[in-house]
Structure 1
Amino acid sequence: MTKKISDYTAANRAVWEVSAPLHEQGAQWDALLAQAGEPGFSVLDSHLTETIRALNLTGGTAFQVGCNNARELLSLRALGLVPKLGIDQSAAFLSQGVRLASACGADVKLVEADIYDLPSGLGTFDMGLITIGVLNWMPDLPAFFRIVAGLLADGGRLVIYETHPILEVFDPASATPYEPAYSYFDGSPQEIEEIITYDGQDHGKGETGYWFVHTMGAIVTACAKAGLQICELTEYPHSNREPQYDLYQGRAAQIPMCYSLVAAKSA
C-alpha cells in the first residue's frame, strides 16, 4: 500500500521525538546553553557564515525550516539578522529551542508543524535557512520548495547548506567504504530505525522513519520550479555531517561532500 506524504512525515516526527532527549543532557548541552547567553553566540561554521554574510541582509528577518532546537536560527543574530520563525515537527526539540532562546534573550516564534501542513498567517521573511539533513526527510521535494518559497518576502533569499547527495552512494561502515554501495538515482524511501544523534555513536533502535535521497538535479530543479532564481551553487570537499564520514575528506581523488545553494525570490 502506497503511503501518503502525511504518513511519512508522521513517522519521521516520531523518530525525532525519540532522539530529542539525548540532545538535552550531558556536558555538550550544558555548554551550548551557557554559550547561548554569550554575546555573538553562533554554532555556524565558517563556510555558512561567509555565505550568509555575503548576502548583506543585516537587519533582515529570518526563518528556518527543520530548525531542531533553534541553535542555528539563533546564531543568525551574530550576523545581524533577526531570527523570527523556526519550524519543526518535534515538540521536544522545540522545547529545547525555547530554553536556548531564553538564554539568548531572543524573541523568536517556534512552531510545531508538518511543513506540508503549515498554519496560516506565519508571515514572510527576508531570508530562509535549510541545513543538513532536512531535504532528505522530505517525501515531496517540489511541494516542499513551493511552501518554503511562500515564506520568503519578495527579494528574499533562501540559503541551503546541506550534505552533498553523492555521499549517499557510499557506506562508511562497509568493508569497502570507497566503493559505491547504493544507486545515486534510487529515490525510494529508505527505512531508518536507529536513534539519531550527531556523535557517530550507536544508540540503538527507535521508531522507524523514512529517508529520501534526492539528486542534485532534483534539488536545483525543484527550487527553480518553485519560482526561485538560483544565484549560486558551491560544492565543498569537507563534511558537515556525522564523524564517520570524515574518512572521505582530504583524498587525492576528492568527492564533493557538502554544498551551499543560494536562491532568490523575485522582487
Structure 2
Amino acid sequence: MDDSFELNKANWNERAALHAASPDYQVQKFIDSAEHLSDVVRFDLRRLGDIRGLEALHLQCHIGTDTLSLARLGAHLTGLDFSCASLEQARRLAEACQQGIHFVEASVYDAAQVLGEQRYDLVYTSIGALNWLPRIDDWAQNVAALLKPGGRLFLREAHPILLSLDETCEDELRIAHPYFEHREPVVWDDEQTYVQTEATLTASVTHEWNHGLGEIISALLRHGMTLTALEEHDCLPWEALPGQMQLGADGEWRLRSRPERLPLSYTLQAVKNR
C-alpha cells in the first residue's frame, strides 16, 4: 500500500501545475470573479444547503478549487491532500482570491491523527477521490472521527458501476474491472492527464481501487454514521467513456444513447450519530 501511495503521490505532484494552468480548472475565473464557483460545487448547491459559518474539511482537496468554492459559500475551510505540489497551487489560489483557507498535507488515512482534536460540522469529498484509496473502511473511520456529533459527510463521487467499465470500448458498455473492493490495485500507465495540455507525465504509473456502493455505505454505518441521502445521477463532469458520451449545457457528460441505462455518479450524505 505504501508503494501505491508513493506512486500516486508522484503522479499527482506532476499533475498539479498542469491542472492549475489548464482552462479546465478555471483558476483565472476564480481570480477574476469573487462570485465564481467550481462546476462540481455548483452541481450540488441545492443539496449542500446553507453552509454559512460551518467548520468544514475538504478531504483530498487537490488544487483547492472546490475548497475555495465552499469557502465562498460562507464556510470556514480546511483542505487536506497528500500532494505537496497540489497544496502549493491551492495556497496560491486562495491567496490570490484573498480567502483564508488552512491547508494540511497528509494522507486521508492519517487525517484524524494529524488534525488532532479539531472536529468539523461538515466533511466534504468531491468527485474522483475514493478510487485512490485501497480500503474504504479506513476512510470511513477517519470521516467519522473528524465529525462533530450531528456533523455531516457530503460526498459526490463517480459511480462504482462506471469505474468497472472498459473506457476504451466505444460501441458498448463492457465490464472489465472489479466492482467490489479488491486487494490488488488496478494498475495504469498513462503519460496523459485529464486536462487540456500538451505536456506528458514522467510519473505515469498509478494504482486505483473500486469500492461498491454497499461497501461504502456499510463502512459509514459501522463507524457510527446514519445515511440521510443518496441520489444517483446519469451524468458526471468528465468524458469517462470517450465515443459514447455528449456534453450538456450544464457542463456534465451523459451517455449519448439511452442514458437511463447507467448511473455515472452519485451524491451521498450521512450524519454522525449523537
Q: Is the 8 A contact 2:59 2:124 kept in 1?
A: yes
Q: Is the 8 A contact 1:237 1:255 kept in 2?
A: yes
Q: Is the 8 A contact 1:200 1:242 kept in 2?
A: no
Establish whether residue 121 from structure 1 lines up as the match of residue 113 from structure 2.
no
Post-superposition shift, 1:179? Answer: 2.6
**Amino acid paired to 1:12:** N
Q: 1:75 maps to which residue?
A: 69
Q: Deviations over 1:79-110 (max 9, x none)?
A: 23222x11101111111101111122111111
Post-superposition shift, 1:215? Answer: 0.8
Q: 2:13 maps to which residue?
A: 17
- Within 5 A, what are the aligned runs for 1:1-267? 5-25=1-21, 31-45=26-40, 46-53=42-49, 56-83=50-77, 85-118=78-111, 119-121=114-116, 123-174=118-169, 176-185=171-180, 187=182, 188-195=184-191, 197-199=193-195, 203=200, 206-242=203-239, 244=241, 247=245, 249-252=255-258, 253-267=260-274
Post-superposition shift, 1:121? Answer: 2.3
Instruction: Tell me, in whole angstroms, the C-alpha distance in 1 between the residues paired with 2:187 and 2:176.
Output: 16
**Amino acid paired to 1:190:** V
Instruction: Tell me, in whole angstroms, the C-alpha distance in 2 between the residues paired with 1:251 and 1:122.
Output: 50
Moved more, 165-174 or 36-45: 36-45
Post-superposition shift, 1:34? Answer: 4.3
Q: Deviations over 1:19-49 (max 9, x none)?
A: 22212325556x5134235222310444312
Matched pairs, number: 259
Instruction: Tell me, in whole angstroms, the C-alpha distance in 1 between the residues paired with 2:196 and 2:175.
Output: 21
Moved more, 159-168 or 243-252: 243-252
Gaps of 5+ in 1: none
TM-score with structure 1 length normalisation?
0.87
RMSD: 2.4
TM-score with structure 2 length normalisation?
0.85
Q: Is the 8 A contact 2:135 2:181 kept in 1?
A: no
- Percent identical pairs in the alignment equals 28
Distance 1:36 1:172, change over 3 A: same
Q: Deviations over 1:161-190 (max 9, x none)?
A: 000010022223225442323342362311
Instruction: Tell me, in whole angstroms, the C-alpha distance in 2 between the residues paired with 1:263 and 1:41.
Output: 27
Q: Is the 8 A contact 1:229 1:265 kept in 2?
A: yes
